[in-house]
Homo-oligomer: A and B are copies of this chain.
Amino acid sequence: VAAPKAFDELKTRLAQVTDINRVRRILGWDMQVMMPAAGAGARGEQQATLDRIAYDIFTAPETGRLLEELRSYEDSLDPDSDDASLLRVSRKDFEKTVRIPADLRTEIVKAGTEGFMAWRLARPANDFESFRPHLEHHMELRRRYVELFPEADEPYDVLLDDYERGMKASEVRVVFDRMKEELVPLVAEARELYGDDDGTLARAFPKDKQEAMAREIIDLFGHRENSWRLDPTVHPFASGGGVDDIRITTKYEPTGLESFFASMHEYGHGLYEHQVAPELDRTPLGGGVSLGMHESQSRMWENLVGRSRPFWRFFYPRLQERFSPLLDDVDEETWFRAVNIVQPSLIRIAADEITYNMHIILRFELEQDLLAGNVEPRDLPSEWNRRMDEYLGIEVPSDADGVLQDMHWGTGTIGYFPTYSLGNVMSVQIWERIKEDLPDLDDRLERGEFAPLREWLGEHIHKHGRKFTPQETLERAVGSRIDPEPYLAYLRQKHGAATPA
């Protein structure tokens, strides 16, 4: 069937919206990486204008009319086709977006900015009380938002769906409860196994060499030419303006090698966007399917590759040489332990592979309690501190390094945190499947051959973009929905008492 004229009209509208959203990403990148600080005011106006225009084009009655007119065309198509997927996904996006009254949307955006400003002052001042009214307002707005979708099984689902389309809180709870059960004892075993930090990573790695290493690893992992940038920022992130305009950032500290791991992490995000099928470009399907799936990619390159034995067998001699004489006295085994050490700590973003998940589970539980009214914002710091002790045996010395540490709640972002751990879980499901398809994967990594892995990911995950839901995408790649067992087995095997690290 030839596509009807209405389909071209719809695609043109959606291409405009996509273009604007990509421009907004470039402007966001620019703001964090390039913009002179004093330009923030004008930039805020510009972003608000573009956001408003994209919203108006997307939610215009004409979009709804075209989607209606195209129902029979959609029914005539293979549901897996690009056209059917475009209609299915756009219809869902449209129906969710138009359900939100413009004034609530404006209020949420405004509260997000104000809350962020308040959080930015409250954190260094260790002053939760000055931020509390903003959190209360955020929760009130979120409850109004949730009420617009009475068909949801539970309130949290509505928020989670914005970041992980189709995922239910009940499913996350099953996964996280199982993880909690295993991880709390595993942390204790790993503590025993690794012992205390020997300070290897506290050495002074020269900044210019850190930067050269970051560039080297991005190019070794591989990408098309003239299509990537790597820049320094305060908070590493990945962004870009299209499949051939990928921009990742990292942070160079005077000591340690976090810049290197952050680069591998952001490479994973960047590669996902880089390998979306060109046919999906300039459509709402062109991009990663969800935060969780994105995180599965970043964590795979950071941890399953970048903290693995095969990788360091290949890369450690290079690293030693590049930083010589800094690591001349550190052998591969010592290095491998240093980059894998498990040690409960206060700050999520500095946490190791295992305890990271406990930070997430704690936030997921508190978000549900806040939304349900089981925990009031005023009780949040004490609840936070109680659970940090229970889950990680950590005493929290201040709210600055406790409940105020993350930006997310500052901006009113609720439902986002669980996707980090969902990504960890999915990364190992995918990894196990890759090892079935590429039995010599470890040998390849040990020889510094990353193309087979990169290509597998492109073919089985990246190219689909947003055509399917995150869980459908996972199922197509590995044969099942989310399942924590492979991830738990991987952690036990790597960090557990039964096998030496």
Contact = CB atoms under 8 A, between A and B. Distances in A.
Given A42-B242, A244-B42, A226 B36 contact: yes
Interface in A202-253: 224-229, 240-247
Nearest to A50: B23
Contact of A45 (B15, B226, B240): B15
A258 interface: no
Contacts of A469: none
- Each complex incorporates copies of this chain amounting to 2
A35 B34 CA distance: 12
A197 interface: no
Contacts of A325: none
Contacts of A43: 241-242, 245
A281 interface: yes
Contacts of A41: 242, 244
A16 interface: yes
A228 B227 CA distance: 27
A244 B39 contact: yes
A50 B54 CA distance: 11
A43 B225 CA distance: 17
Contact of A245 (B42, B52, B227, B244): B42
B20 A49 contact: yes
Contacts of A38: 224-227, 244-245
Interface size class of A (residues with CB under 8 A): 35 or more
Given A37-B226, A38-B224, A244-B36, A282 B45 contact: yes
A22 interface: yes
B16 A241 contact: no
A27 interface: yes
A247 B228 CA distance: 22
A22 B49 CA distance: 11
A53 interface: yes
A26 interface: yes
Interface in A6-45: 15-16, 19-20, 22-23, 26-27, 30, 34-39, 41-43, 45
A382 interface: no
A228 to B, nearest CB: 6
A44 to B, nearest CB: 10
A331 B36 CA distance: 38
Contacts of A493: none
A97 interface: no
A28 to B, nearest CB: 12
Nearest to A225: B38
Contacts of A241: 35, 39, 42-43, 46
A39 B274 CA distance: 11
A299 to B, nearest CB: 25
Interface string A47-89: 0011011000000000000000000000000000000000000
Given A226-B37, A244-B39, A27 B23 contact: yes
Nearest to A46: B19
For A34, A224, A225, A246, which residue has the most chain B Cβ atoms within 10 angstroms? A34
Interface string A364-401: 00000000000000000000000000000000000000
A245 B53 contact: no
A243 B42 CA distance: 8
Contacts of A243: 42
Contacts of A242: 39, 41-43
Contacts of A45: 15, 19, 282
Given A15-B49, A241-B43, A245-B42, A30 B26 contact: yes
A420 B389 CA distance: 70
A150 to B, nearest CB: 35
Given A34-B229, A36-B226, A227-B36, A49 B244 contact: no
Contacts of A226: 36-38
Given A23-B23, A38-B227, 12 more contacts: A15-B45, A19-B49, A20-B50, A22-B42, A34-B34, A36-B226, A36-B246, A38-B226, A39-B240, A39-B241, A39-B244, A42-B241
Q: Can you list the 4 inter-chain pairs with the closest CB atoms, starting with the nearest? A: A39-B245, A42-B242, A38-B244, A19-B49
21 contacts: A16-B49, A19-B49, A20-B46, A22-B42, A22-B46, A23-B27, A23-B50, A30-B30, A34-B34, A36-B226, A36-B229, A36-B245, A38-B224, A39-B227, A39-B240, A41-B242, A42-B241, A42-B244, A42-B245, A45-B282, A53-B53
Interface of A: 15-16, 19-20, 22-23, 26-27, 30, 34-39, 41-43, 45-46, 49-50, 52-53, 224-229, 240-247, 281-282
